[in-house]
Amino acid sequence: MARYPNPLPRTPSSPGIPETTTPQPQQQRPTVLSRSPETNVGSFWDMLAIRLIFAVVCVAAGYHFQPFGLSKLFAAIAGLVFAVAVILFEIRLRRASLRRLIGAVVGSILGILGAYLTSLVLMNTSMPAGERSFFSLIVFLVMAYIGLIVGANKGDMLNLQALGGLFGSERNMRHTFKLLDTSVIIDGRIADIAEAQFLDGAVVIPQFVLHELQLVADSADPLKRQRGRRGLEVLQRIQKIPNLDVQIAEDDFQNIPDVDLKLIELAKRYDAKIITNDFNLNKVATLQGIEILNVNQLANALKPVVLPGETMRVFILREGKEYNQGVAYLDDGTMVVVDAARKMINKTVDIIVTSVHQTTAGKMIFGRYDERGASAAVGVAAVEPRAVESGGPERPPRPYYPEPGR
């Protein structure tokens, strides 16, 4: 996982992002990727080189020493098999937590110590030497294996305070990686959430998500091209947030064609959460045990709570389906159906909430517009200022022409 400075400098063009075929001089695509040499340390190619060197050393050692009386060819093959087994074991250990590793080591040491004490007891018996050596070896293997398995399974129960906070840093780093999906980047609300400092840990942008975003930005469809460029601008905005750790994940899964499945596999590898607003990805990832942060669910949770009997002011936008109904919308998109408000279209009115219904599409509010109460309120507002200004009841207007006899 590569670490990038925050924010990234804006350059006219970048080799990682191809220019679109439709020139637009007034709008320049933000550069998202600008790799630096120090960020490639520990990448896939570095690990591959280290493993190849280890395999070559094992093959050369087997070819030179010829263990167990093997020929040079079979000894070299045995060295290669040993190197492959060690590399596979190392790859599997990388996925284990530090708690489990320490638990496995402690359990193995205790098992070996128990096997050694058992062998001391066997040495003081009258058992033949061959059988005693056999039982000692069996006890050693069984105790070491049981200690390894039990210690690894019970490693999560280690007391952090008794160990002086040795695992405290790992606990703080768990579940701090948050992967961004293409849909949530194009949506743009994730930038507002990040600016409000509701995101902690590291925000990870996978390389294959960036590639998909670039393909959308280079699409021949103007609508898709606009959405892709909006996503790149959102990424540039996220990287400029000073207190946010933005990283680029170089990991890729060549045998998986779908981007959503790649995102799930990457979340499993880093024990990360996925930020998305895709309904299908949400369901599939949840079934596989991946934690999801859904922006749509967050927006629904932040909608204002309205209780029946409260008064609220809305703008009647259009006519409802039923007779004499009007429809209004809140700022978050919540639909408000108002009875007796058909005549108040394109006007702002005060309504009384009658009921609130939660549906699969969201929340719906039903209200009632009291025309008599509104008329009385308008009449009071029209009379009271004139009475205050004149200091009493309104005087009749003076006639324009004088009356006869005056």
Domains of the chain and any CATH numbers: 44-168 (no CATH), 174-300 (3.40.50.1010), 311-374 (2.40.50)
Quote the pTM value.
Answer: 0.46
Residue 157: band (very low, low, confident or very high) from pLDDT cuts 50, 70, 90: low
Q: What is the mean pLDDT of the chain?
A: 76
Q: Is the pLDDT of residue 296 over 60?
A: yes
Q: What is the arithmetic mean of pLDDT over 220-236?
A: 90
Q: Using alpha carbons only, what angle is made at residue 227 by residues 223 and 230, rounded to the nearest 5 degrees?
A: 140
Give the pLDDT confidence of 304-313 residue by residue, as tens digits: 778 888 888 9
The region of weakest confidence among 216-220, 252-256, 361-365 is 361-365
Q: What is the arithmetic mean of pLDDT over 207-216?
A: 89
Q: How far apart are CA 67 and CA 7, in angstroms?
A: 57
Query: Among residues of the chain, what percentage have pLDDT more than 90?
Result: 11
DSSP 132-196: HHHHHHHHHHHHHHHHHHHHHHTGGG--TTTTTSTTHHHHHHTT-EEEEPHHHHHH-HHHHHHHT
197-226 exposure pattern, b = at least 16 Cβ within 10 A, e = fewer? eebebbbbbbbbbbebbbebbbeeeeeebe
Cβ-proximal residues to 168 (8 Å cutoff; 6+ apart), any chain:
160
Burial tier of 98 (Cβ tally within 10 Å: 0-12, 13-18, 19+):
middle
Q: Is the pLDDT of residue 168 over 70?
A: no
Give the pLDDT confidence of 24-55 residue by residue, as tens digits: 433 333 333 333 334 444 567 888 889 899 99
Dihedral sign computed on CA atoms, order 167, 179, 236, 8: positive
Residue 295: band (very low, low, confident or very high) from pLDDT cuts 50, 70, 90: confident
